[in-house]
Structure 1
């Protein structure tokens, strides 16, 4: 039987990982309560939070008696739980395309993008070092070049239709295309990103939140 209990997301709105989860919940029309945790709000190292999420990071999803952490796992859980087969294909081949890009986001793009973001947005102006910013920018450019080559032959990361792979990568694409750095023009990434910007949930939970 499907768990119909209320959904609660623990995490601040300006976390890209929280943004993924909120974006998906809007896409599948599942209401939730979001509680500010982490960053300037703190609380993520408290004993009560660590009992739910031993990593002490955000987000954490609470669904009745179920607690799920790791943002990409939360995306998969929600897609499976609410039968969002179009967003997370049921067939093994289609699902493998979604999973590989979600894993790539977690292992490759995420760390590089976070470093660039922190060296600009989370570092006071007087402490910023242009050489380290340029280094992080170049790492991101290499990864988005890879993404651009793939998107030359695919509408979305999972194939012809929008999936949770696009949700996993989308907030980082927003950061890359919005941060004040020089970057190469990747036409296929831009075309894909413009399609994301047509989605109300993306604008609400990512673009309108901004960089902070």
Structure 2
């Protein structure tokens, strides 16, 4: 039985980052759903958020991008997260951008239009979220045109795991979006990867 356990819903975009990373690394793992409100879960992550990684009996980690970094480092995969400080920083810059800028741009629109959250039904705020989301995706378009391949450069990296899933969500949204040809070409590159097919298009928006 695998010592790795990923706690969280299969449809959660943050859980899917970790699951796709595990596929890229060829890791065996178990995924398990837990009640995030339970005292047992809150003892693992006091934020009450998924995912949580359990690696053996005594190591608990939360925050999805941190979990992905940990797993890649654990396996010594410098192709996905370089060891050299400058090259690593270029990958981590885009990972942090995804977590702090890109995610924040789409959250209101996604919660209102897809999750149908009653507290996200202000149409003006939905439109503002869509506008911000499209503006951030235009930034990604410019970056992909510059690299000619993937987010942080010509080769696939951990930045593509986290931004690739956000790109899938953007394409799947019931909203107006601009034509971004470099983003579309990038998306088709990702579809060639088995882990993305399962945990991107195969897992929902």
Same fold (TM over 0.5): yes
Cα distance in 2 for partners of 1:86, 1:144 equals 25
Once the two structures are TM-superposed, the CA of residue 23 in structure 1 deviates from its matched residue by 0.2
Q: Give the superposed CA RMSD.
A: 1.7
1:23 equivalent in alignment to 2:14 = no
Q: Secondary structure at the match of 2:127?
A: helix
Once the two structures are TM-superposed, the CA of residue 128 in structure 1 deviates from its matched residue by 4.4
Task: Say which structure, 1 or 2, has more relative contact order (CA 8 Å, 6+ apart).
Answer: 1
- Give the length in aligned residue pairs: 202
Q: Secondary structure at the match of 2:203?
A: coil
Once the two structures are TM-superposed, the CA of residue 88 in structure 1 deviates from its matched residue by 0.6
Cα distance in 2 for partners of 1:176, 1:116 equals 10
Cα distance in 1 for partners of 2:29, 2:103 equals 25
Which one is further off, 116-125 or 146-155? 116-125
- Contact in 1 for aligned 2:52/2:60 (Cα 8 Å): yes
1:136 equivalent in structure 2: 129
Cα distance in 1 for partners of 2:2, 2:140 equals 38
2:165 equivalent in structure 1: 171
Which one is further off, 55-64 or 133-142? 133-142
Once the two structures are TM-superposed, the CA of residue 124 in structure 1 deviates from its matched residue by 6.4
User: Alpha-carbon deviations, 1:103-129, whole Å to 9, x = none?
Assistant: 10111001222222111111169x845
Pair 86,34 (structure 1): closer, same or farther in 2 beyond 3 Å:
same
Cα distance in 2 for partners of 1:7, 1:69 equals 13
1:40 equivalent in structure 2: none
Q: Secondary structure at the match of 1:208?
A: helix
Q: 1:187 aligns with which of 168, 173, 181?
A: 181
Q: Secondary structure at the match of 2:82?
A: coil
1:69 equivalent in alignment to 2:62 = yes
1:93 equivalent in alignment to 2:93 = no
User: Alpha-carbon deviations, 1:145-174, whole Å to 9, x = none?
Assistant: 111111111111121111110101111111
1:116 equivalent in structure 2: 109
Once the two structures are TM-superposed, the CA of residue 133 in structure 1 deviates from its matched residue by 2.5
TM-score by length of 2: 0.93
TM-score by length of 1: 0.90
Q: Which runs of 5+ in 1 are unaligned?
A: 38-42
Structure 1 residue runs of 4 or more that deviate by more than 6 Å after TM superposition: none
Q: Which runs of 5+ in 2 are unaligned?
A: none
User: Alpha-carbon deviations, 1:31-81, whole Å to 9, x = none?
Assistant: 1000123xxxxx112111111111110000000121110000001000000
- Contact in 1 for aligned 2:2/2:28 (Cα 8 Å): no
